[in-house]
Amino acid sequence: MEALEQLERSERNAQLSGPFLEILPVSGAAVSTLGDLLGSETLSATNPEAAKLDEVQFDLGEGPCWEALATARPVEEPDVLRSVRWPAFTEAIRELPVRSLFAFPLVVGSLRIGAIDLYSATPMTLEEIDARRAVEMAKIVSRRVLQRALAEVGGEYAEDAGNIHSRRVVHQATGIVVAQLRVPPEDARLVIHGHAFATSRSVKEVATDLVEGRLDFSVQEAGDA
């Protein structure tokens, strides 16, 4: 799918929202980070209305993106103006050309880092095939956002490529996370690096805790469910 390839090839976060409009029947899209790990920020928006939806949710602390983040599941609201789901948010966007809202969480393993907001100017629901496409696109966006965030901080949260023991323990830990969370190795490494960043520890320290059984991401994920 060309939109998936565009996301894979994207060089900047600002390019992450556009592909959603190419294959989904929506009017606008925005990609944002949320919560304590990466902070709350709009990384990409296709138009001012999409950016405004993010801004209102940041200010109020409620809305579809927050619900998607909290549940780690897609959120759909076919007609937000008739909904009582998020009263303050709905009132704040009443004058915008927005009727339907869809949010997809940005998740890498056990790390919840943000959400994708989609909206339509007319009441609607997403067809099952479109919802599946959005989920697949959200997986790619999740990895890209976390990879870039970790690349920016670098330093102590990067692997010590010159230390053989460090590489070995991180490799072992990656295999453990693959088994715990049933994710690909690339995602497992991102989870380890993201946890190191979130807890202000080195990747080697986190990896060692995983290998020695002091840390179990499958337990954390079950507790969040």
Residue 194 domain boundaries: 154-224
Same domain flag for 73 and 145: yes
Q: How far apart are CA 107 and CA 160, in angstroms?
A: 25
pLDDT higher at 162 or 185: 185
Same domain? 146 vs 162:
no
Q: Which two tokens stand for residue 199?
A: 């807890």
The mean pLDDT of 115-133, rounded to a whole number, is: 97
User: Residue 200 belongs to a domain with what CATH number?
Assistant: 1.10.10
Most confident of 103-112, 182-191, 194-203: 103-112
Between CA 181 and CA 187, with CA 186 as vertex, the angle to 5 degrees is 40
How many CA atoms does the CB half-sphere of 189 hold within 13 Å? 12
Residue 221: the pLDDT is 59
pLDDT digits (tens, 9 = 90+) for 7-22: 777 778 888 999 999 9
Same domain, 101 and 165: no
Tell me the percentage of the chain whose pLDDT exceeds 90: 64
pLDDT attached to residue 12: 83
Total domains in the chain come to 2
The predicted pLDDT at position 36 comes to 84
- Strands of 100-108's sheet, edge to edge? 41-45, 28-33, 111-120, 100-108, 75-77
DSSP letters spanning 81-149: GG--SSHHHHHHTTTSS--EEEEEEEEETTEEEEEEEEEESS-----HHHHHHHHHHHHHHHHHHHHHH
Check residues 131 and 198 and name the one with the higher pLDDT.
Answer: 131
Amino acid at 218: S
Let me know whether 80 and 111 are in one domain. yes
Ranking 4-8, 61-65, 102-106, 220-224 by mean pLDDT, the lowest is 220-224
The strand pairing partners of 100, in sequence order, are 120
62 plus 115 within the same structural domain: yes
- Overall pTM surpassing 0.85 (yes/no): no
**pLDDT exceeds 80 at position 156:** no
- Pair 67, 166 in one domain: no
Mean pLDDT of 177-189: 89
130 and 48 in a common domain: yes
pLDDT tens string 101-115: 999 999 998 899 999
Q: What is the pLDDT of residues 131-148, one digit of tens each?
A: 999 999 999 999 999 988
pLDDT at 161 over 50: no
**Residue 48: what residue type?**
P
Domain boundary among 137, 152, 167: 152
Q: How far is CA 11 from CA 1, 21, 145, 171, 177, in A?
A: 18, 18, 11, 27, 28
